[in-house]
Structure 1
Amino acid sequence: MYIHRYAKVGLVHFMAFPQTMKGEGPIVETLEEIAEDPFFNLVEVGWMKNPEVRKKAREILETSNLEVGYGAQPKLLLQRLDLNSTEERERKNAIQALKESVDEALELGARRLAFLSGKDPGPEGREKARELLVDSIQQVCDYASSRDSKFKVVLEIFDREVDKRCLIGPSKEAREVAKAVNRQNFGLMHDLSHLPLLREKPLDALKEVKEFLIHAHVGNCCLKQGSEFYGDQHPRFGVEGGCNGVEEVTEFLVALRKIGYLDGKSAKPLTIEVKPGKAESSGLVIANAKRVLLEAWGRAFA
């Protein structure tokens, strides 16, 4: 497909199949479903507690020729691990968890590790929190580099005020953190689904981080109070109260092209991140997202 000239189109496995998010459940079976779909040439997996499951997953990924990324976000969130905690023991636990995630990612054949910052402490504590975050990231980057010089460590930009309430946070501050980290194996990830939560426009946000951007997510969010999808739940496109649809995905793709991310010189990671609701099937929600992405792509690259 034309899209694959510009993008390594991916899917976040643990979000599309949330029953696997805790590192357990039908990981192998659902990963195989993704691997059998030639639309995807990238998959982002999460923690897998069972070594035998990791072995089977590695076999699937190798056989299908899928590029692999590793998302440590569920591990950090579910265990309430904080890379910018002022409690040194807590911060060390978070750093150690990410180092272990690097090991697991390499075991699975992944080329990169994505994660998120810790909680926003409020205006009075942000400067110190950023310093701690930078130090934590540098430690993880140095460890990753010692294991594999080509392995990438990627900070995903989240919301600060609505749901996850992370330190990073606004795109401008993400850029400053990236500058301070100053590691060749480090980069940033932006996510369309987080932009409405940050009250940022695609082109403005992406211009801020273009120098460090090495991964992008496409998804939806909801700001309708009382909805089961409220906040950063990555609902399907078209859900009532959703913020993003074909028009917004088109705008995001156009912005990615304008900043030189989707330049056609090499295919860049562009991953769909959607999660089915309580009464929805993963297959239908994935098909929905593929249709939206393809329609938006046709408009953005017309």
Structure 2
Amino acid sequence: MKDSIHKYFQVGTIQWMSFPRMDGLESLKTICRDDFFDAIEINVNKVGSIMDEAKALLEQSHLKVCYGAQPALLGPKLNPNDLDEAGRQKAEDALKDSLDKAEFFGAKGIAFLSGKWQEETKQEAYAQLLKTTINVCSYAASKGMNVELEVFDYDVDKASLIGPAPLAARFAADVRTVCPNFGLLVDLSHFPICHECAKDVIRTCRPYITHLHFGNAVADPDAPGYGDLHQRFGYPNSANDTPELLDYLRVLKEEGFFNADAPMVLSMEVQPTADEDEMTVLANTKRCLNRAWALLED
């Protein structure tokens, strides 16, 4: 593409994924000082001890702030589609608390994920998730905020109810009938472990997608690193590299997601392994994105 990617997308990164070991304040400064980024995704686990300093830095940065509520569910093992009503309510309360924290940092919404499920109670779990999501969306609407559900794998690692793209689209349609402030977050990292490709996911979920991630995963169950670990591009036996990222961008272009007037957030969700350097893996991700963009036809 001749145009800059920043014309069509707000390119971001996920603070707690890019910098799992770096101090919260230092990692926040690193991203805020890097003009490659137009957006940042944070959560209170990474900046909770420095909330006032973090808020001040974000206000200075001119970054679009997004808030990830996934850790608020995954850490304490809360399930928004819990069949036990008390458990479901705890998940709903955690998401509402995340909305309050997101508002403090200047974010306009939160992203979350569905919980684990069992085949024999799938319909009941779907109803519980619908209840949680509508309640959280209503609370968000009272603040002028939005809610996004990230589509995860359903039978590999997170084993989330939502789930394959057709079920995600069905769920989004059900929520949208009463909550216009709801959308889907799709992630290239999750396509291979959902047994799908970019065309499957983008075309199926197109009316509801409001946020984009990209990254990598190991989809071979016999290979080291199998599952939802968001390895760097070029990781051994992994599913995604520059060609897959190029295909993702190509499908987004074909499906009308290149919008200069209202660019969508496109964040890298890539995590270094314990023995990899955080800054090097971040640079790797930028290089792959730059190369894929350069190869994309005008």
The secondary structure found in structure 2 opposite 1:270 is: strand
1: distance between equivalents of 2:258 and 2:190?
A: 20
The secondary structure found in structure 2 opposite 1:114 is: strand
1: distance between equivalents of 2:232 and 2:200?
A: 25
* Within-5 A mapping of 1:109-188: 109-122=106-119, 124-146=120-142, 148-149=143-144, 151-182=145-176, 183-188=179-184
TM-score by length of 1: 0.94
* Within-5 A mapping of 1:165-244: 165-182=159-176, 183-225=179-221, 227-244=223-240
The equivalent position to 1:3 in structure 2, one of 5, 14, 38, is 5
Q: 1:225: Cα distance to partner?
A: 4.1
Q: 1:112: Cα distance to partner?
A: 2.1
The equivalent position to 2:93 in structure 1, one of 77, 91, 96, is 96
Partner of 1:259: 255
1: distance between equivalents of 2:285 and 2:47?
A: 30
1:28 matches 2:22: no
Contact kept, 8 Å, 2:217 with 2:226, in 1: the verdict is yes
Deviations 1:242-296 (A, max 9, x none): 1000000000011111111124342111000100011111100100000001111
CA gap of 1:67–1:280, structure 2 versus 1, over 3 A, is: same
2: distance between equivalents of 1:277 and 1:226?
A: 18
CA gap of 1:79–1:139, structure 2 versus 1, over 3 A, is: same
CA gap of 1:64–1:90, structure 2 versus 1, over 3 A, is: same
1: distance between equivalents of 2:112 and 2:261?
A: 27
**Equivalent residue pairs, number:** 294
2: distance between equivalents of 1:229 and 1:30?
A: 25
Contact kept, 8 Å, 1:48 with 1:54, in 2: the verdict is no
Q: 1:48: Cα distance to partner?
A: 3.7
CA gap of 1:298–1:127, structure 2 versus 1, over 3 A, is: same
Structure 2 unaligned runs (5+)?
none
2: distance between equivalents of 1:239 and 1:49?
A: 26
The equivalent position to 2:80 in structure 1, one of 74, 80, 83, is 83
2: distance between equivalents of 1:159 and 1:287?
A: 27
1: distance between equivalents of 2:211 and 2:109?
A: 10
Q: 1:180: Cα distance to partner?
A: 1.0
Q: Give structure 1 regions of 4+ aligned residues with deviation exceeding 3 angstroms.
A: 48-52, 224-228
The equivalent position to 2:105 in structure 1, one of 95, 105, 108, is 108
1: distance between equivalents of 2:49 and 2:55?
A: 10
CA gap of 1:50–1:291, structure 2 versus 1, over 3 A, is: closer
Provide the alpha-carbon RMSD of the alignment.
Answer: 1.5
Q: Which amino acid aligns with 1:200?
A: E
Q: Which amino acid aligns with 1:206?
A: I
CA gap of 1:91–1:63, structure 2 versus 1, over 3 A, is: same
Contact kept, 8 Å, 1:135 with 1:181, in 2: the verdict is no
The equivalent position to 2:284 in structure 1, one of 281, 284, 288, is 288
2: distance between equivalents of 1:191 and 1:230?
A: 17
Structure 1 unaligned runs (5+)?
20-24
Q: 1:226: Cα distance to partner?
A: 5.9
1: distance between equivalents of 2:293 and 2:160?
A: 30
TM-score by length of 2: 0.95
The secondary structure found in structure 2 opposite 1:79 is: coil
2: distance between equivalents of 1:186 and 1:262?
A: 20
Contact kept, 8 Å, 1:257 with 1:263, in 2: the verdict is no
The secondary structure found in structure 2 opposite 1:211 is: helix
Partner of 1:22: none
Contact kept, 8 Å, 1:112 with 1:152, in 2: the verdict is yes
Q: Which amino acid aligns with 2:34?
A: D
The secondary structure found in structure 1 opposite 2:11 is: strand
The secondary structure found in structure 1 opposite 2:229 is: coil
